[in-house]
Amino acid sequence: MAANEEKERWNVASHPYQKRRASFSSQPDPGSAEIHRPASLVEAYQALKHSYRNYDTKVALRRMQALRRSVQELNRRGYAIALELLGSLNFGLVESSSDVDCILLHYCHEHLHEGECGLGCPNMIFKRDQLLSILKEKTRGETFHIEFLDVLNLKYIEHWLEADSKPEHEPIMRFLFYRFLGRPVNRPLVIHYYEQLEANPELMREFHEYGSQALSAYIQTSGHRHSFTKYNERIQSHQIRLPRDLIEELRNYLDLEQQ
């Protein structure tokens, strides 16, 4: 790989979701926690996102429908992709001015042994541009910015699952992380990979440490906490009082990192 191409890799290592590597030694003691409280940050985040999705805005529903139809159309043309959505669309509390943060999952033989595609990958660029073109048609003039935070190669996932001697598994950790935390578009394309990975208890134990550590770093950013303030304000703008259960789940999630 040329040096200039190496500099053009996705900068996921510096993204708040990607803080990792050190051991996560501050897991809460299940024996001291209340029964309904989650055992890890990953589980707490999952519970929280599902609660917030009860308040999907009309904008969120329109965008989800447009993204699903666009991905289906691209798949119909022979270019199989899936998305994992993060940010406000993941939680369903979207306004017309909101951006869309997403992870692109596709098949790329050129980067089979790398797990991800660089910014200059022609396969990724073609599918991304085709997706955006189709999406523009589906939304009929309603424009919104899409930020591709990461691009993972499903051919690498297949290679990893079939290999006797497992290669680098950091892309596998990210793959699981996005599925556990995100909102899928075209889930049938990738669900069998997740099921095979989840059947590996040792891998899943390592993943929960990885995921909890990444979220631990993310929680400490002011932008993350500010996001929940925005979500709550959007619910209240519709004259809906925040239910006690949702407030408790948010408090548990933010408190878990401190334990």
The two tokens of residue 2 are: 């040329």
Greatest CA span in the chain, whole angstroms?
A: 56
Does residue 127 have a pLDDT over 50? yes
Contacts of 156 by beta carbon, 8 Å cutoff, 6+ apart: 111, 112, 113, 114, 115, 116, 171
Average pLDDT, integer, range 162-178: 88
Of 10-24, 135-149, 211-225, the one with minimum mean pLDDT is 10-24
Residue 99: alpha-carbon gap to chain centroid: 14
Of 3-17, 40-54, 72-86, the one with minimum mean pLDDT is 3-17
Confidence at 18, pLDDT banded by 50, 70, 90: very low
Confidence (pLDDT) at 175: 95
Confidence (pLDDT) at 1: 42
Average pLDDT, integer, range 216-235: 68
Confidence (pLDDT) at 165: 79
Confidence (pLDDT) at 83: 97
Angle between helix 122-139 and 58-76 (nearest 10): 130
Does residue 170 have a pLDDT over 60? yes
Give Cα separations from 40 to 27, 33, 258 (angstroms). Answer: 7, 11, 12
Among 21, 2, 24, residue whose Cα is nearest residue 13:
21
Q: Return phi, psi of residue 83, to 5°.
A: -130, 150
The two tokens of residue 121 are: 């990958």
Give the global pTM: 0.76
Task: Give the number of C-alpha atoms closer than 13 A to the C-alpha of residue 219, restricted to the C-beta side.
Answer: 20
Among 102, 97, 96, residue whose Cα is nearest residue 68:
102
Does residue 116 have a pLDDT over 70? yes
- pLDDT higher at 54 or 236: 54
How far is the first Cα of the chain from the last one, in angstroms, to the nearest whole number? 43
Among 4, 7, 223, residue whose Cα is nearest residue 101:
223
Average pLDDT, integer, range 161-172: 86
Q: Which residues pair with 102 in a beta bridge?
A: 85, 148
Does residue 66 have a pLDDT over 70? yes
Confidence (pLDDT) at 142: 76
Q: Rounded to the nearest 5 degrees, what angle is found at the Cα of 182, between the Cα atoms of 97 and 252?
A: 95
Mean pLDDT of the chain: 78
